[in-house]
Structure 1
Amino acid sequence: MRLVIPFTFLASCSALAVEVRVEFNRDIRPILAAKCYACHGPDEDKREADLRLDVRAEAVKAAIKPGKPEASELWKRITHTDPADVMPPPSSPKQLTNVERDLFRRWIAEGAEYQNHWAFEPIKRPVVPKSDSKNPIDAFIEAKLRAHDLKPAPAADPIALIRRVYLDLTGLPPVPADLAALSGWSDQTYEQIVDRLLASPNFGERWARHWLDMARYADSNGFLGDGLRPNAYLYRDWVIQAFNTDLPFDQFTVQQIAGDLLPDPALEQLTATGFHRNAALNTEAGVDKEEARYQNIVDRVNTTGRVWMGLTVGCAQCHTHKYDPITIRDYYSFYAFFDNTEDRSDSKIKALTLTEVSKDRRQTYVHMAGDYTRRGPDVIPASLSALPPMTRPVQPEPNRLDLARWLVSPQHPLTSRVAVNHIWSKLLGFGFVRTPDDFGTAGESPSHPELLDWLATEFMRNGWSRKHLIKLIVMSATYRQSSAHREDIVELDPLNCLLARQNRIRLDAEILRDSALAVSGLLKRTIGGPSFRPPLPEDVFDVGRSSNWKASPGDEIYRRSLYIITLRSVLYPTLTTFDSPDAADACVRRERSNTPLQALAMMNDSVFVEAAQALALRAMHESPPEVAKRLRLLFKLTLNRPPRAEELQRLAVFHREQKARVEKNGAKALQVLGNNTSSIARPDQIEAATLVAVARVLMNLDEFINRE
């Protein structure tokens, strides 16, 4: 018999069904973390009634009698009717549900066993479930689906799959010639496409964008002055190259955190240290330099914790972490790794780099309550006490190089899990852990813990190769499934945690703009180099100090969005409308909103208007003059497939209506051609304006804006 917990209670992907026995990590810890640890957790300064529930030895002393719920103070308090004694108190917004109380009762009755938090446990390679599938990923996914009487979705249509894998691996849609592979479609054909995309220089551009989000990359300092960083792009280009050459993730990590400490570091390794030079920097006159330095180091500590370990270490800056075993002393011992770093602009490579101070080194201490002026106990550099210890350093105390090597050591339980989760999320829509920057006790448990650990070990076994891991995922039947809606999973699994189908994903802001430019033929594909300035409306400069904006000349403005200059005080509105991050902090997961403003931007933003104009002219140049043939070409260029009969019929009706409108309104209607009017023969202008209207419709379809 199996007890199925209603999904409305779970509200997460941690589990969809449990056996009769209650499990601490799966069932109890999430409740304790969400509703109890704030007052009865690790933080000794905020602990109420001297009761600690995150450690079993402490909990059983005063609150829990294993095997005896009715004799346990915990059970009495959570079922009490007196407002003065009930827990959580009535003032708490996080009240227990009846289902949660019942779980506590059963857990205590079964012995109140605790478990170490899953993310801090060593990574072990699970046995692959028996399956007819060749790809181990599918074996794990199918085993979970079978446990819930579900079957995977059928394979996606080859055209949809080609578009999907092009967008996921290169961030650009396929061109018509790429669809020639459909004529002899097979697994081998698909694998050849994947290999070609992984080898494409566009692969590095697409996946660099994911990393730059986490690196809080920008081309300016931020704050009121927002001074320009003209050479910041050198770090961005290093990231692109690192992905394209498949620089192993362990080396990728070491070079960014401590490239300057490697023996005889190469220029590329020094450039890599720009990771921690990307943060905002306050250079205003009158700023407290010591406070600014403190905040800068705090950013480096918090970012390192979020990006590589998926931990909210920043919560321990002022006091011991309320949920995770990270003390304030742990925090400042970690802080000590960066306390003697120095920002430098390297004259040899013109890049922003990080280096170690050799003279007059600072003694690091605990900043009491997170106040940079309040000195507490002295500390030396050290790793987090709840994680495996760092290898003894050669020098008297560990440095950033030791820290970086500790992060990528096989014994570290978090780094490979976090990296795999991040990559998986970009290909399936969500990670196994849907709180990618919180693998701690307050975060969500993994939907497929065994698969996550198997992939983490596979990642390390294959030399930390991201291309190997990505290929393994995109070759799986799980990735290649249809994303079509499934009624049979709506009630059981509305968030598609079990992956009984692929996820439909709205394109990232940059990829949406790039796709519009690509299908129109406007896209300039130059890779790397200084950032460019796109045209901006004047009212953008009504706030902030930035002004005198001058768009880059010629076709520079049609380069990929990755190269748009990121000024923290003047963010490109087209991208922010579609949820691009603001570079204020490390962005591990982008939000995906759906707003009317996005529809207005797609219709009226200059870049999409220009793309529609160019697409219409492309159809006129590349197709015979017959309307049906031009409509078919427009459809195929935009959506990467031929239109169905009913779709072509609707387009033809729309074309007739728009042509009549253009003919009726004359010169006013021809304004839609913009600056292209003079280059179009007068007899063709009406048809061109009509095709612009058709192109705008096609580029505003969900099928264009989303990746199926």
Structure 2
Amino acid sequence: MFAENALWSLKPIKEIKIPINKTTNWGLNSIDNFILRKLSEKSLSPTTRADRRSIIRRASYDLTGLPPTPETVSEFLGDPDIDAIAFAKVVDKLLESKAYGEKWGRHWLDVVRYADTAGENSDHPVEDAWRYRNWVIQSLNNDMPYNQFVREQIAGDILAIGKNGKEFADNIIASGYLAIARRFGHDIDKRMYLTYEDVIDNLGKTFLGLSIACARCHDHKHDPITSADYYALYGVMASSRLPFPGCEPKQQPRDLVPLVTGDVIEENNEWEQKLKKLQHDLIENPKKELIKVASESYRMLSAGHLPVGKSVNLSSDPIKLNVKKGEAIQISIAPNTNHGADTTLVELKIKHQSDSGNQEWSTQDLVDILTKGNPLNSNNATWYFLDIGPEGPRLLSEKAEEIDGQSSLKKWSIGGLPSVAINNGNDPIKAWTEIPARSFFVHPSADSPVAVTWISPVTGKIEIELKMADGHASGDGVIWQLQHFANHKIHSSYEKLAVDKEGIAKIEEHKNKKPISQTDYAYAVAEGKPEDYPIHNRGDAKDLGPIVKRRFLTVLGGEILGDKNSSGRLDLADKIVSPKNPLTARVMVNRIWAWHFGRGIVQTLNDFGNHGTLPTHPELLDYLAKEFISGGWSIKNMHRIIMNSATYQQSAQSGTGVKYYAGFERRRLNAEEIRDSILLLSGMLDESPGREHPFPPKSKWNFSQHAPFADEYFTSKRSVYVMRKRNRISSFFSLFDGPDPNASTANRSQTTVPSQALYFMNDPFFHDCADQLSANIRAIGPVERLEYAYQLLFSRPANKTDHEDFEAFAKVMAPNISNDPEEQDTEIWRSYSRILMSSNEFLYLD
């Protein structure tokens, strides 16, 4: 069917002898000797070196996706070192920028078809996919060795074993590479075989440059990959647990991976159980006991509705009853139908006559001492101020020594309401309503009545006088009740409730010992049930053939992967990055080369098989692969080797010669570079890293095939942080050839269509950025404006022709605006800013 030896990419990477260049001193490093030899064979010559302005703009966009600042350009132009040395310093500086990881992270996210949605028919949001995106960016900024970069993405959860903290979490997050695979159909649990195909397809293309998924239905027609090879890898993936993002019949996600170790989770669970016990023993039990005792001895003395603007006076006919020491009298106020203006003035007076003399207790006695405590002792009696709503009974525990800036207003409350309060001043105070001088008042909350309780310090007959008045003439009044709890145990129950404060303190102390404040989760992979899987005859998941052992591709050794205790993903990762594997280093250096030059040494970046193209410079490819491995798999080191070559530093050229690198091929900025640049140059770019997206709460998810997730979220952050949907690609990225997140994008295509020009003419976002740029330009002196604009956008000074063009434009525009010079100046610069930001000089790199 095929001859294995015919596939060039499977041959071992050779030790390459660097060609000797005897005819010219053009070259700067070994790359140039390979390029020059091929140019000689094709009767071509390299072009001249690019000028410093062109090369710094090219390098800045290549490494950071952003234009160089005028200050950076000026520093480079003024560097007295020879061009090669000065440029090497520029490269080093750009590689240290955090913008580097954002630019090159986007390259990688293209290849691994990153998206923030799942791709099934309702395209469910994937809330935690962003963690993998940010891990990629940070890993590239840290120059993580590529072999480690690969291993963590394929088996990060396994590598995390025995680690803690950030290292543990990062390993877990890295396996999000496998997790972000597309989901399919209506009920995705029934279509996981398609997701495994997507994983295998992307893994093969991304790391090996092989179209392994072509062997799902039959042996590969062109490359040495059998159907058994495919299902051997299928078993590895099916032995792993991928997260479930949700789908139409099962809206909620599951199987996300916690970003803390099992020990921490267990410790946290123990902490949670102890917290529940403390809350039960110190708070819930006293509440239950008080409710029980109160219900056994309950007696209603009086009750009623206090209408708006009215009062109640029981003083002329006091309530007389016998009490025992420790029993309670309680007045409670609750909202009527409507809650709001429920401030209620209360004067409760209790009198007792005995042989030893007369005693009296009153809420008026509390006006000067209210905030000394709750419970509060006065004249041998104890007063309690309570919330008796759904969360109660509980003491009002929050003390305020002033209300609305008024120091004579003081209160006890919980969360502001319900409250018991006083005005201890000698004058009325105008607050939310007018509060009388020397008054005691209460205010319930919407669902919680407020209560004032008096514990009797005596045994015998008492008289109760009660006056109440509406303190805020609005709404529909309040409901009030005066009760007697005729059980001496009620006092001890209140005392236990008072211990609530100590309980809260103990609970707060325990809360401060929580192992983790919250458990974050990653959209990541975990080990599943290790198992070998059968071949699906003709790709039909219902027509099963023989079982295939989990193993690597036969043509790359066919070693067994995993065992009864493991999926085999770590073994797979190790085989992929093995120095004996000739594909991995070749594929990656070819990508790096292509992302600098616009074309790869192998132009089919994802296909090193027989359907792919042959390398134009096979020895150069192997030389770079060897350098990559011997240099510790450092991607940044590869940038330095490539960019410090004379080949990279050539001036721009068109024609067939650029295929062999006779000159640098001019290119247009890609979608992200356009968007990020116009944000940056307008001063509107938020350069801080992006995080999660503002998806709707999971509890409200109800996405379907007919009403899929389709939100768009504006952000002024860099484009790599923009939310990407699978099923509905945003119009801007579609217009300017952004990646399709349903499939691996090895290299961006470039189209030129009329709608792109219309974007610059009509799009509100572009116009907003241009308007802001024009405002920034107009903020400086008129003489310097054009120079400032050209340095900012084009990294060069404005020349005589530029000034003449602007003056001609302004002369034509001015009469069509108004007679007001200020309006003319504003509109001229707004229009000219749009022209500059949509010009070819801005949109293309030389």
**TM-score bracket for the superposition, by shorter chain length:** 0.7 to 0.9
1:372 and 1:549 map into 2 onto residues whose CA distance is 34
Q: Does 1:289 align with 2:189?
A: yes
TM-score (norm 1): 0.75
Q: Does 1:625 align with 2:527?
A: no
User: How do residues 406-445 of structure 1 correspond to structure 2 at under 5 angstroms?
Assistant: 406-445=575-614
Instruction: Extract unaligned runs of 5+ from structure 2.
Output: 243-254, 260-519, 696-702
Partner of 2:85 in structure 1?
Answer: 188
Contact 1:544–1:569, Cα closer than 8 Å, also in 2: no
Contact 1:574–1:605, Cα closer than 8 Å, also in 2: no
SS at 2:555's partner residue? coil
1:608 and 1:637 map into 2 onto residues whose CA distance is 17
The CA RMSD over aligned residues, in Å, is 2.2
Q: Does 1:355 align with 2:526?
A: yes
Amino acid at match of 1:617: A
2:44 and 2:694 map into 1 onto residues whose CA distance is 50
Contact 1:526–1:559, Cα closer than 8 Å, also in 2: yes
1:314 and 1:334 map into 2 onto residues whose CA distance is 10
Contact 1:424–1:430, Cα closer than 8 Å, also in 2: yes
Q: Does 1:701 align with 2:839?
A: yes
Instruction: Extract unaligned runs of 5+ from structure 1.
Output: 1-41, 43-53, 56-113, 534-540, 665-681
Aligned pair partner of 2:743 in 585, 603, 623: 585
Partner of 2:812 in structure 1?
Answer: 657
User: How do residues 181-580 of structure 1 correspond to structure 2 at under 5 angstroms?
Assistant: 181-184=76-79, 186=82, 187-262=84-159, 263-265=161-163, 266-282=168-184, 284=186, 287=187, 289-290=189-190, 292-343=191-242, 344-348=255-259, 349-358=520-529, 361-390=530-559, 399-485=568-654, 490=655, 493=656, 496-531=658-693, 545-546=707-708, 549=711, 551-552=713-714, 557-580=715-738
SS at 2:17's partner residue? coil
Tell me which protein shows more strand as a share of its residues: 2
Amino acid at match of 1:182: L
Partner of 1:146 in structure 2?
Answer: 40
Partner of 1:692 in structure 2?
Answer: 830
Contact 1:658–1:693, Cα closer than 8 Å, also in 2: no
Go from structure 1 to structure 2 and tell me whether the alpha carbon gap of 1:706 and 1:390 turns closer, same or farther (over 3 Å shift). farther
1:310 and 1:424 map into 2 onto residues whose CA distance is 15
2:708 and 2:759 map into 1 onto residues whose CA distance is 23
Deviation at 1:549, TM superposition (A): 4.5
2:710 and 2:553 map into 1 onto residues whose CA distance is 48
2:42 and 2:843 map into 1 onto residues whose CA distance is 33
Deviation at 1:116, TM superposition (A): 3.0
Q: Does 1:177 align with 2:88?
A: no
2:96 and 2:713 map into 1 onto residues whose CA distance is 33
Amino acid at match of 1:269: N
Deviation at 1:222, TM superposition (A): 2.1
Amino acid at match of 1:503: E
Aligned pair partner of 1:604 in 751, 762, 771: 762
2:177 and 2:188 map into 1 onto residues whose CA distance is 24
Amino acid at match of 2:171: Q
Deviation at 1:216, TM superposition (A): 1.4
Q: Does 1:129 align with 2:19?
A: yes
Per-residue CA distance 1:443-476 (angstroms, 9 max, x = gap): 1000100000000010000110000001111111
Amino acid at match of 1:121: K
Aligned pair partner of 1:637 in 753, 770, 792: 792
Contact 2:257–2:526, Cα closer than 8 Å, also in 1: no
SS at 2:524's partner residue? strand
Go from structure 1 to structure 2 and tell me whether the alpha carbon gap of 1:388 and 1:655 turns closer, same or farther (over 3 Å shift). farther
1:288 and 1:436 map into 2 onto residues whose CA distance is 31
Deviation at 1:656, TM superposition (A): 1.8
Go from structure 1 to structure 2 and tell me whether the alpha carbon gap of 1:197 and 1:288 turns closer, same or farther (over 3 Å shift). closer
Deviation at 1:684, TM superposition (A): 2.9
2:5 and 2:11 map into 1 onto residues whose CA distance is 10
Deviation at 1:640, TM superposition (A): 1.5
The structure showing larger relative contact order (alpha-carbon pairs under 8 Å, at least 6 residues apart) is 2
Go from structure 1 to structure 2 and tell me whether the alpha carbon gap of 1:398 and 1:524 turns closer, same or farther (over 3 Å shift). closer
Deviation at 1:314, TM superposition (A): 1.4
Partner of 2:54 in structure 1?
Answer: 160
Partner of 1:36 in structure 2?
Answer: none
Per-residue CA distance 1:471-511 (angstroms, 9 max, x = gap): 111111111100133xxxx4xx35x2210011111111011
Contact 2:184–2:194, Cα closer than 8 Å, also in 1: no
Contact 1:224–1:545, Cα closer than 8 Å, also in 2: no
Go from structure 1 to structure 2 and tell me whether the alpha carbon gap of 1:235 and 1:398 turns closer, same or farther (over 3 Å shift). closer
Partner of 1:75 in structure 2?
Answer: none
1:333 and 1:184 map into 2 onto residues whose CA distance is 57
Per-residue CA distance 1:363-421 (angstroms, 9 max, x = gap): 30100001111101110111111224448878788711011010011111111111011
SS at 1:558's partner residue? coil
Larger radius of gyration: 2
Partner of 1:34 in structure 2?
Answer: none
Partner of 1:47 in structure 2?
Answer: none
Q: Does 1:648 align with 2:538?
A: no
Amino acid at match of 2:119: G
Amino acid at match of 1:625: P
Deviation at 1:148, TM superposition (A): 2.2
Contact 1:319–1:328, Cα closer than 8 Å, also in 2: yes
2:686 and 2:706 map into 1 onto residues whose CA distance is 31
Amino acid at match of 2:681: V
1:565 and 1:325 map into 2 onto residues whose CA distance is 39
Contact 1:215–1:586, Cα closer than 8 Å, also in 2: yes
Deviation at 1:546, TM superposition (A): 5.0
SS at 1:150's partner residue? coil
1:391 and 1:568 map into 2 onto residues whose CA distance is 35
1:473 and 1:515 map into 2 onto residues whose CA distance is 25
2:681 and 2:44 map into 1 onto residues whose CA distance is 39
Per-residue CA distance 1:546-596 (angstroms, 9 max, x = gap): 5785755xxxx2211111111223422111101112211122222111111
Tell me which protein shows more helix as a share of its residues: 1
Contact 2:562–2:569, Cα closer than 8 Å, also in 1: no
How many residue pairs align between the two structures? Answer: 554
